[in-house]
Homo-oligomer: A and B are copies of this chain.
Amino acid sequence: MVTMQREAGYGREQRSEQRSELGEGGEFDLIRRMLAERAAAASGLVRVGPGDDAAVLGDGTVLSVDMAVEDVHFRRSWLEPEEIGYRSAMAALSDLAAMAAEPVGVLAAIALRAEDRDGAIAIVRGIEEATQRCGAALLGGDVTRSPHGFVIDIAVIGRTDAPITRAGAVPGDRLWVTGELGGAAAAVHAWRQGGQPDEEARVRFARPSARVHEARWLAERCALHALIDLSDGLAGDASHVAAASGVRVVIDIDALPIARAAVAIAGGNAGEARALALTGGEDYELLFAAPAGEVEPHVAEFAQRFGSAITALGEIATGDGVWTRTADGRQQRLAAHGYQHFEES
């Protein structure tokens, strides 16, 4: 789905390389803004226009699309075809999780070369598996020839009576995150170094879980003020919440739930592990803000039910931007690291 800043991040040190080689292209933010503006003009029809994770129609229908391009979002040498399909579908379904919407259906458009037909069949199987895991149905799609590699576009439809957007966080809210961060980035880091990721890292990249069930479970129990899925990386997605809500997002740096795989790939360098957790994309965990006391009573049951933690990550404050906070209370703006600027105007 259109976001106002969208760039795949797999660790800060590789950002410039990614731009030219791997990544969704920060240089296209102008087009993304244009799409978002057009959608905003349709606001009589939509309750939540793009700029958020998905469009919500007046009747509660939630829609999003997510395109995965070979050698931009994945490399064939990294993934089995079934995994390519699985993660493409999960990336799109995660946009429904980000609105606490109930998944209904998926349409898959696939472009492929003639010689990749068997791979495409496996891709459809992967899409189907991800779709079923999220309680949705594969409703159809389009299959066409590509002169080059795979292109997979997943359109998802869901329903919600009460979409939770990025825009409702208020100062005083607590900030929460599900699961662990940096695992998918650790896998990409390993591949890019010419190595192989360990199994945990590989699974986190190849078979991410869209937190659709978790998001609805939380939304049924807690008055969530703002919700987003972590597709661009914590720093980037937190900046979307900050911008949409008009608040400062404060992240307690010591609270970061760093994936073991990210710690391992960082080889004992704590700063590097933190960077992977802060900026690594495609973990598809949930980041959310809620008044103090709303989420706390449900942390234990969440862990038991979903086998995954919810971590108190920080707070929402007055101001703007995304700031890290150390144990001694010192805050540092993440904007200085370059996550929030537009490439072009």
Contacts and interface: CB of A to CB of B under 8 A. Distances in A.
Given A25-B114, A107-B65, A139 B72 contact: no
Contacts of A173: none
Interface string A47-58: 001100011010
A299 interface: no
Contacts of A65: 107-109, 140-142, 153, 155
A121 B34 contact: yes
Contact of A155 (B50, B107, B143, B147): B107
A270 interface: no
A37 to B, nearest CB: 10
A69 B36 contact: no
A126 interface: no
Contact of A35 (B66, B124, B153): B124
Interface residues of A, number: 67
Interface stretch (A38-46, A176-184, A195-203, A219-227): A38-46
Contacts of A39: 137-140
Given A55-B139, A143-B6, A117 B64 contact: no
A27 interface: yes
A53 B35 CA distance: 26
A145 interface: yes
Contact of A145 (B28, B36, B114): B28
A84 to B, nearest CB: 14
Interface in A93-121: 104-105, 107-112, 114, 117, 120-121
Given A111-B69, A147-B69, A157-B61, A50 B120 contact: no
A140 B35 CA distance: 6
A318 interface: no
Interface of A: 1-2, 6, 23-25, 27-28, 30-32, 34-36, 38-39, 41-42, 45-46, 49-50, 54-55, 57, 61, 63-67, 69-73, 104-105, 107-112, 114, 117, 120-121, 124, 128, 137-149, 151, 153, 155, 157
30 contacts: A2-B140, A6-B144, A24-B145, A28-B117, A28-B144, A30-B121, A32-B143, A34-B124, A38-B124, A38-B138, A46-B139, A49-B139, A49-B140, A50-B140, A57-B104, A61-B61, A61-B157, A65-B107, A65-B155, A66-B109, A67-B109, A67-B142, A67-B151, A69-B146, A69-B151, A71-B147, A72-B147, A147-B148, A153-B153, A155-B155
